[in-house]
Structure 1
Amino acid sequence: MAVGDGKSVTPILEGEENLIAAAQHIVKALGTKKNLTDDVRKILADLGTQLSSMSTVNETKDEGVSEIEERLNLVQEKVMNWETDQSMIWDCGPEEAFEYVNTVEEARKLTESLETLYLDEGGEGNKLLRRAHDVLQMAMARLEEEFRHMLIQNRQPFEPEHMSFRSSEEDVVDEGSIISFEDDPAGDLLQRDSISRFSEDYIINLVHPDVIPELKCIANLMFISNYDQECSHAYICVRKDALDECLFILEMEKLSIEDVLRMEWASLNSKIKRWIRAMKIFVRVYLASEKFLSDQIFGELGSVSSVCFVEASKVSILQLLNFGEAIAIGPHQPEKLFRILDMYEVLADLLPDIDSLFPDEAGCCVKNECREVLRRLGDCVRVTFLEFENAVASNTSTTPFAGGGIHHLTKYVMNYIRTLTDYSDSLNLLLRDHDREDPVLLSPDMSPHREEENNGGSSPCIVSPMALHFRSVASILECNLEDRSKLYKDASLQHFFLMNNIHYMAQKVKGSELRVVFGDGWIRKHNWKFQQHAMNYERATWSSMLSLLKDDGLHNHSWNSVSKSLLKERFRTFNVAFEEVYKTQTAWLIPDHQLRDDLRISTSLKVVQAYRTFWGRHTHDISDKYIKYNPDDIENHLLDLFEGSPRSLNPHRR
Structure 2
Amino acid sequence: MGDIDKIVPEMGEEENLIAAAEHLVRALGSNKNLTSKMKRVLADLGSQLSTMATISDEGVSEIEEQLNIVQEKILSREADQSMIWDSGPDEASEYLNAADEARKLIERLDGLCLEKNGHEKELLRKAHDVLQMAMNRLEEEFRHILVQNRQPFEPEHMSFRSSEEDIMDESSIISYGDDSISIDDSFQRDSVSRTSEEFIVHLVRADVIPDLRCIANLMFLSNYDHECCQAYVMARKDALDECLFILEMEKLSIEDVLKMEWGHLNSKIKRWVWALKIFVRSYLASEKFLSEQIFGEFEPVNVSCFVEASKASMLQLLNFGEAVSIGPHKPEKLFCILDMYEVLADLLSDIDALYADKIGSSVRIEYYEVLRRVGDSVRGTFMEFENAIASYTASNPFAGGGVLHLTKYVMNYLRTLTDYTETLNLLLRNHDKEDPSSAPANMNSAMEEESLSGSLTSNFSPMAIRYRSVTSILESKLHEKSKMYKDVSLQHIFLMNNIHYMAQKVKNSELRLIFGDNWIRKHNWKFQQHAMDYERATWSSILPLLKDDGNSGSSSVSKLKERFKNFYLAFEEVYKTQSAWVIPNVHLREDLRISISLKVIQAYRTFESRHKNQISDKHIKYSADDLQSYLLDLFEGSSKSLHNPHRR
- Return closer, same or farther for 1:370/1:61 CA change in 2, 3 Å cut-off: same
Counterpart AA for 2:123: L
Q: Which residue of 1 aligns with 2:38?
A: none
Report matched runs for 1:549-628 at 5 Å.
549-552=546-549, 555-556=551-552, 559=553, 563-628=556-621
Match of 2:480 in 1: 483
Q: Judge conservation of contact 1:491–1:540 (CA < 8 Å) in 2.
A: yes
Cross-structure match for 1:35? none
Q: How does 1:256-335 map to 2 (within 5 A)?
A: 256-335=253-332
Aligned counterparts of 1:622 and 1:634: Cα–Cα separation in 2: 19
SS at 2:168 equivalent: coil
Structure of greater relative contact order (alpha carbons < 8 Å, 6+ residues apart):
2
The one-letter code sitting in structure 2 at the alignment partner of 1:45 is E
The answer on 1:113 being equivalent to 2:144 is no
2:196 and 2:6 map into 1 onto residues whose CA distance is: 90
Cα distance in 2 for partners of 1:596, 1:39 equals 124
The residue matched to 1:159 in structure 2 has which SS? coil
1:185 Cα deviation from its structure 2 partner: 3.9
Q: Deviations over 1:417-474 (max 9, x none)?
A: 111111111111111211449989962444478348454xxx9342111111100010
- In the alignment, the residues of structure 2 paired with residue 219 and residue 375 of structure 1 have an alpha-carbon distance, to the nearest angstrom, of 40
2:127 matched to 1:162?
A: no
**Contact 1:173–1:269 under 8 Å retained in 2:** no
Q: CA RMSD in A?
A: 2.4
Give the AA of the match of 1:323: F
In the TM superposition, residue 580 of structure 1 has moved relative to its aligned partner by: 1.3
Corresponding residue pairs, total: 608
C-alpha distance in structure 1 between counterparts of 2:104 and 2:72, whole Å: 16
Q: What is aligned with 1:497?
A: 494
CA distance change for structure 1 residues 217 and 85 in 2, over 3 Å: closer, same or farther?
A: same
- Distance change >3 Å, CA 68–CA 500, structure 1 → 2: same
1:43 and 1:293 map into 2 onto residues whose CA distance is 61
Q: Which amino acid counterpart does residue 254 of structure 1 have in structure 2? A: K
Amino acid at match of 2:325: A
1:45 aligns with 2:10: yes
2:354 is aligned with 1:357? yes
Partner of residue 93 from structure 1, selected from 81, 85, 88: 88
How far does the alpha carbon of each residue in 1:70-91 deviate from its partner, in whole angstroms, 9 at most, with x for none?
A: 1111111111111111211111
Rate the CA distance shift 1:597–1:567 in 2: closer, same or farther, 3 A.
same
Residue 222 of structure 1: aligned partner: 219
Equivalent AA in structure 2 for residue 628 of structure 1 = K
Match of 1:471 in 2: 468
- Indicate the residue corresponding to 1:450 in structure 2: 450
2:529 corresponds, among 515, 528, 532, to 532
The one-letter amino acid of 1:136's match is L
1:223 aligned partner, one-letter code: F
Distance in 2 (CA, whole Å) between partners of 1:186 and 1:307 is 51
Q: 1:318 to 1:438 in 2, by over 3 A?
A: closer
One-letter code aligned to 1:131: K
**Aligned partners of 2:555 and 2:621: how far apart in 1?**
20
Distance 2:608 2:55 in 1: 140
Aligned residue identity for 2:639:
P
* 1:407 equivalent in alignment to 2:372: no
1:146-190, Cα deviation, whole Å (9 max, x unpaired): 110100011111111111124244432315111124533444xx3
Q: Which amino acid aligns with 1:46?
A: M
Shift in Å at residue 119 of structure 1? 3.2
Q: How does 1:332-347 map to 2 (within 5 A)?
A: 332-347=329-344
Q: Is the 8 A contact 1:156 1:208 kept in 2?
A: yes
- What pairs up with 1:417-456 in 2 under 5 angstroms? 417-432=414-429, 433-434=432-433, 435-436=435-436, 443-447=443-447, 450-451=450-451, 453-455=453-455
**Which letter does structure 2 place at the counterpart of 1:524?**
R
| 1:566 aligned counterpart, secondary structure | helix
* Alignment check: 8 A CA contact 1:144 1:234 kept: yes
Deviation at 1:121, TM superposition (A): 4.1
Query: 2:170 & 2:520 partners in 1: Cα distance?
Result: 32
Q: What letter corresponds to residue 481 of structure 1 in structure 2?
A: L
Secondary structure of the structure 2 residue equivalent to 1:544: coil
Residue 213 (structure 1) aligns with: 210
Alpha-carbon distance change, 378 to 40 in structure 1, aligned in 2, over 3 angstroms: closer
SS at match of 2:542: helix
Matched-pair identity in %: 66
User: Which residue identity does 2:609 align to in structure 1?
Assistant: G
CA distances 1:205-230 after superposition (whole Å, capped 9, x unpaired): 11111111111111011001000000
SS in structure 1 of the partner of residue 347 of structure 2: helix
540 and 453 in structure 1: CA distance in 2 versus 1, 3 angstrom threshold: closer
Q: What stretches of structure 2 of length at least 5 have no aligned partner? A: 20-48
Q: Which residue of 2 aligns with 1:139?
A: 134
Maintained 8 Å contact 1:587/1:644 = yes
Q: How far 1:564 sits from its partner (Å)? A: 2.2
The structure that has the greater radius of gyration is 1
In 1, Cα distance between equivalents of 2:274 and 2:7: 89
**What residue in structure 2 maps to residue 13 of structure 1?**
none
Equivalent position SS for 1:47: coil
Offset of residue 302 of structure 1: 1.2
Instruction: Go from structure 1 to structure 2 and tell me whether the alpha carbon gap of 1:172 and 1:43 turns closer, same or farther (over 3 Å shift).
Output: closer
Local SS of the residue matching 1:251: coil
The question of whether the paired residues in 2 share the 8 Å contact of 1:454 and 1:522 is answered with no
The residue that corresponds to 1:184 in the other structure is: 183
**Aligned AA (1:349):** D
User: Structure 1: any 5+ residue segments left out of the alignment?
Assistant: 1-37
Return the offset for 1:253.
Answer: 1.0
Residues 440 and 447 in structure 1, CA contact (< 8 A), matched pair in contact too: no
Q: Is the 8 A contact 1:586 1:642 kept in 2?
A: yes
C-alpha distance in structure 2 between counterparts of 1:637 and 1:180, whole Å = 38
TM-score (norm 2): 0.89
- Structure 1 residues 100, 563: closer, same or farther in 2, change over 3 A? same
Contact 1:582 1:647 in 2 (8 A): yes
**CA 1:612–1:444: 2 relative to 1, 3 Å:** farther
Residue from 517, 520, 530 that aligns with 2:517: 520
Counterpart CA distance in 2 for 1:628 and 1:281 is 75
For residues 109 and 265 of structure 2, the distance between their equivalents in structure 1, rounded to whole angstroms, comes to 65
Q: Which moved more, 1:512-521 or 1:494-503?
A: 512-521
Are the structure 2 counterparts of residues 101 and 610 from structure 1 closer, same or farther at C-alpha, using a change threshold of 3 Å?
Answer: same
